[in-house]
Each structure stands twice: as C-alpha cells, then as structure tokens.
Amino acid sequence: MDILGATLRVCVDDLETAVPFYERLAGGTALRFERGGVEVAAVGCFLLMSGPAAELDLLRKVAATIAVKDVEEAHEVLRELGARIIAGPVATPVGRNLIAMHPDGAVYEYVDRRG
C-alpha cells in the first residue's frame, strides 16, 4: 500500500475566522466544500471542519486522513493486518474513502483520488 501523505483534521467553531490563520500558516488558499451539513476547508496539510456539534463529535473520533494510491488495496492490507473496517470503501466527490480502526484503537480515514 502506498501512503502518499496525511491530513490533520481540525474541528473549529468558526470556519471563517479559522481559514485565514491556516492559509497564512500553510502558505496556500483553502479549498472549500460541504459534506453532510459540515463545512470543510482544506488548506495545506490541514482539514478544517465546522458544523453541528453532533456531526463534529463523530468527526473528532478520526485521528487523521491518510492519502493512499488505492483505497481498495488499503482495504485489503488493513484487513490482513487486523484492522476493523468501520465504513467503506465508498465513492466521494474526488475519489473513494474508508474508515478503519487499527488494532490499537486509533481510527483513521483512508482516501484516494480515483474514480
């Protein structure tokens, strides 16, 4: 499985206030979108999320987002290594994702940019 990088997930109360700070910190412009009632801004290695408390409580349980070359391959490797697949793989607007709990209890989202 090829791991291409990781994104740190940050839940914020006010996305409009947080985005300028992270844009300056990361030296880039945020890519914004909405998913499931949660406003999201991706900037550099940060994924900022703001929305209803119940949604954010669920999102906070995922430690990080890990970019991989192929989610299907990640799915196979994770299962072989004893991870529990919580959700997915499913299609997203930019590729596919899955959520897995590692044997140590840590929860991660794995994503690719394939159709």
pLDDT tens digits along 33-90: 888 889 999 999 999 999 999 889 888 999 999 999 999 999 999 999 999 999 989 9
Place of tokens 């994104």: 7
**H or E element in which residue 20 lies:** helix 15-26
CB atoms < 10 A from the CB of 105, how many?
7
pLDDT value, residue 115: 52
Q: What is the DSSP letter of 74?
A: H
